[in-house]
Amino acid sequence: MLAAQRKDLILTTLRDQGRVVAKDLAAELDLSEDTIRRDLRELAAEGHLHRVHGGALPASPAVADFTARTTIGTGAKAEVARTAAALVRPGQTVAIDGGTTARELARALPADLRATVVTHSPTVAVELAVHPTVEVIIVGGRLFKHSVVAAGALAHEAIGRVSVDAFFLGVTGIHPAAGLTTGDADEAAIKRAWTERAAETYVLGSGEKIGAASAFEVVPLAAVTAVLTDAAAPARGVAELRAAGVRVLGVS
């Protein structure tokens, strides 16, 4: 057995059994405990496991966190997110906005999806850090703490150099007359910049946002490909959007 294989075995054993006992493994592999201890020490130094007396434990309780994280979300936002995730094609480059629905979208992406996600949301980036196949590009800038997204001229400039197949836009208001709105002017400009760089723009619009309007327009409704909402969205609001020529997905 090669030394590298042995390290893989250690990590696999850790994952499967939740622990490694140095003495047992040495006997099993017919090696000295010294060798196993050396392996454990090195793997611990690289952050792959937690070295304890007599063996090793998993690196962190992050396994439990991973499980919680991958629990399928319920509620309106998760519904919207699923509708959105189904629109992402393998091989595409898509941009994801910030916010809780956007975060749900990051979670809802299929585990085998091979695509590139560009985002100015560190929260979305952290969510996608555990995705096995999606490539993630972070757009930097000044952190707008209210929404936990990068904003300002730095972000705006960086977005201007990106082109994406689709942009998943988060807003706070979806109104037939007022259009798509949000509460901060700088954030509105960032979102607008994304729509200008995207072939298609889908609004993440759970029902509570329909009929609402905030202070700053992002883009008019005519500028987007569709509004993605949920089954419980208000029928009148949906009807009004459709009457205005807007494509609404996620509700009959």
We find the least distance from the C-beta atom of residue 41 to a second copy, in angstroms, to be 8
Label the pairing between strands 116-119 and 135-138: parallel
Contact criterion met (CB below 8 Å) for 142 and 155: yes
Q: Smallest distance from the beta carbon of 135 to a second copy, in angstroms?
A: 7
Name residues contacting a second copy, limited to 138-197 (CB under 8 A): 138-143, 145, 148, 150, 154, 158, 172-173, 183
In the complex with DNA, which residue's Cβ is closer, 151 or 251?
251
Q: Is 203 helix (H, G, I), strand (E, B) or coil?
A: strand
Interacting residues with a second copy between 91 and 130 (CB under 8 A): 120, 122-123, 125-126, 128-130
Choosing from 58, 205, 211, 250, the residue that interacts with DNA (CB under 7 A) is 211
- Please, which residues have CB within 8 angstroms of residue 2's CB and are 6 or more apart in sequence? none
Q: How many CA atoms lie less than 13 Å away from 172 in the CB half-sphere?
A: 12
Q: Does 244 bind DNA (CB under 7 A)?
A: no
> Nearest 10 degrees: CA dihedral of 206, 208, 211, 212?
-110
What is the DSSP code (8-state) at residue 237?
H
31 is a contact residue toward DNA (CB under 7 A): yes
Residue among 28, 34, 46, 65 that touches DNA (CB under 7 A): 34
The residues, any chain, with a CB within 8 Å of residue 227's CB and separated by 6 or more, are 174, 202, 203, 205, 210, 221, 241, 246, 247, 248, 249
The nearer residue to a second copy, 150 or 221, going by C-beta atoms, is 150
* Total site size for a second copy, rule CB under 8 A: 51
| Structural element, H or E, at residue 228 | strand 226-228
Specify the amino acid at residue 207.
Answer: G
* 55-94 residues near DNA, rule: CB under 7 A: 55
Residue 29: phi, psi to the nearest 5? -95, 0
- Least distance in Å: CB of 54 to a second copy? 5
Radius of gyration of the chain (CA): 23
Side chain identity at residue 211, one-letter code: G
Among 32, 60, 70, 163, binds DNA (CB under 7 A): 32
Q: Which residues bind a second copy (CB under 8 A)?
A: 2-5, 8, 19, 21, 41-42, 44-47, 50-55, 57, 120, 122-123, 125-126, 128-131, 135-143, 145, 148, 150, 154, 158, 172-173, 183, 208-209, 212-214
Q: Which residues bind DNA (CB under 7 A)?
A: 1, 3-4, 6, 22-23, 30-35, 37-38, 40-41, 51-55, 211, 234, 236-237
